[in-house]
Structure 1
Amino acid sequence: MAEGPTPSRADPAAARPRVELLAELPDITVTRHVCHAGPRDRPFPEQHRQASLAFVLAGSFCYRCRDRTHALVAGSVLLGEVDEAFVCSHEHGVGDVCLSLALSESLLAAAASAHAAPGRLFAAPALAPRPRISALARALAAATDSRDRTRAPEIEALALALTAEVLGELSLQTGSPRSPRPGASASDRERAVAGARFIAERATEPLLLRDVAGHVGLSPFHFLRLFRAVFGVTPHQYLVRTRVERAAARLCESEVPVTELAFEVGFGDLSNFVRTFHRLVGLSPGRWRQRHHIRKIRQV
């Protein structure tokens, strides 16, 4: 296949990353940015079109923003506000891969409010690697790589957890206090219970956090924090546990094949169901069913 002329190293187009859309939800867009620029490529000024977080998965580059240059490596986080100017360069090597989150203004405003971010939305334009943030970013990358639309709730939960983790880390670094977490009020408990009931009633559906939060009249971030304060788990964890509990019951009372059962209770992927079931129950679905039937025979 014939190729076009090789772009000049002085041409900004030669240094622009390839952008791949991985997931597009109502308030969240996840993309992968693969850049092949190196020391020979001339840096050029850019501007953030949306407020976004970018997690460096591989490679390294320099990010100049707010009159400072930050060296970013795998595990680092790049933060950009709407219309903020920046320049990226690759003085130390060729190429990088980033996972980028673009969140809606309403979602980011709720996140900033929940974490008491003063002044700017992001108190700093970059963060050094943090193990928990890196682990969440890798988990999100794996979830979006599957291209499985039924994993939208998991993708949303990971994206929100990542955003909350980054904002929390920023508040610690800048000395700004996190929002106080008083004991749950009667109103909080009522909303949390209403959310839990909503999840239980629709556990077989591909629920998004925004759907449940909207049902109780809260923003996703505020509902996430409230739900966790009341129940000790996130809404997504509660959803997954509800599905697993129902699967365990069905395995005990029916001969439905495991593959069919996985989809019946709301999992869109068999391997994910088996892995999650084993993690929460301690046995594979087949082993769980086998042990149950053995126990029933012994009781006869």
Structure 2
Amino acid sequence: MTTAQKTLACGHGWQVSDVICTAVAGDRPFEEEHPSFCVAAVTRGTFRYRTSQGTAMLAPGAILLGNPGACYECGHEHGAGDRCLSFHFSPAYLERVVAELPGAKQLGFADPRLPPLPALAPLLAEAEAARETCTGDAFEELALRMAGAVAAAATGSSTTARTPSRRDQKRVAEAVRLIELNAERPLSLTELADGTATSPFHFLRTFRHVAGMTPYQFLLRTRLHRAAVQLRTSNAAISTIAFDAGFNDLSTFNRRFRREMGEAPGAYRARRIG
């Protein structure tokens, strides 16, 4: 076996895996079958992908597209090994996403891949960063955004969001309050969407439009702000403050705090007055 796969995160109807292939030129390709819709972002290496939609050469930045039940082969005639960030979606999951895209009603991919597209570059970078920093909590949103962006790009649909209505703004305000009241515990995108009686895809787009960031980003900002206040106003251990704020481990808290505040929690606390 030349392929190693590690599940990074999963939920109802979706899964994200880190897939590393070590095949070299001369290795015989073997046929496999997509168990669900597959959207795999190539992050390293090149390979040939053959499936029922056609044959394509994939390189970093390209996205492999697979339909449920479709057989496929990957070959490495021109280079050794590759690495992909592979998103898998159930038909029901992707159907709900496609139903909310203007003009994109076809469920299924007609082409074997998407070429590297500037519009997808920021999202792919976010996903790869989440993989490298082991930020599994971020993948629920990233999976939904990936499904919507790729479905739109594959069908030529527009992802331009309409101007949020007053009802949409009210829903976002309700979600913000829910996050503020429960920031110390796990909050899934599905739970937040259910609280506003909207689909996760519609809720995510609306929240980003109204708040200027995703729900997960807002949740992290809320946790970090509360931790920063506690660092300046209490003598509790840094680990206690991190866990009370909702972080599962100290290393993740330290890394995110430094990125957001520009210095480590200990240094931030040391600068308090008095």
TM-score range, shorter chain: 0.7 to 0.9
> Could you say what the CA RMSD is over the residues aligned between the two structures, in angstroms?
2.5
The answer to which of 191-200 and 43-52 deviates more is: 43-52
Distance 1:33 1:206 in 2: 27
Could you report, residue by residue, the CA deviation over 1:162-191 in whole angstroms, capped at 9, with x for unpaired residues?
Answer: 3344344435xxxx3414522211211121
Whether 1:71 and 2:61 are equivalent positions in the alignment is no
Whether 1:41 and 2:21 are equivalent positions in the alignment is no
Q: Which residue of 1 aligns with 2:126?
A: 136
TM-score, normalised by the number of residues in structure 2: 0.86
Identify unmatched segments of 5+ residues in structure 1. 1-13
Q: After the TM superposition, which residues 76-95 of structure 1 pair with which residues of structure 2 at under 5 Å, given as runs?
A: 76-95=62-81
TM-aligned CA deviation for residue 261 of structure 1: 0.8
Bigger Rg, structure 1 or 2:
1
Cα pair 1:140 1:159 within 8 Å, conserved: no
TM-aligned CA deviation for residue 193 of structure 1: 1.3
Aligned partner of 1:250 among 230, 255, 262: 230
TM-score, normalised by the number of residues in structure 1: 0.79
Cα pair 1:114 1:179 within 8 Å, conserved: no
Instruction: Summarize the Cα distance change of 1:123–1:291 in structure 2 as closer, same or farther, 3 Å threshold.
Output: farther
Distance 1:180 1:159 in 2: 19
Q: Which residue of 1 aligns with 2:175?
A: 195
Cα pair 1:133 1:166 within 8 Å, conserved: no
Identify unmatched segments of 5+ residues in structure 2. none
Identity of aligned residues (%): 36
Cα pair 2:33 2:71 within 8 Å, conserved: yes
Q: Which residue of 1 aligns with 2:194?
A: 214
Distance 2:269 2:31 in 1: 60
Structure 1 segments (4+ residues) deviating >4 Å: none
SS of 2:86's equivalent in the other structure is strand
Cα pair 1:139 1:158 within 8 Å, conserved: no
Matched residue pairs, number? 270
Instruction: Summarize the Cα distance change of 1:247–1:216 in structure 2 as closer, same or farther, 3 Å threshold.
Output: same
Cα pair 1:107 1:221 within 8 Å, conserved: no
SS of 1:292's equivalent in the other structure is coil
TM-aligned CA deviation for residue 101 of structure 1: 1.4
Whether 1:124 and 2:111 are equivalent positions in the alignment is yes
Instruction: Summarize the Cα distance change of 1:178–1:123 in structure 2 as closer, same or farther, 3 Å threshold.
Output: farther
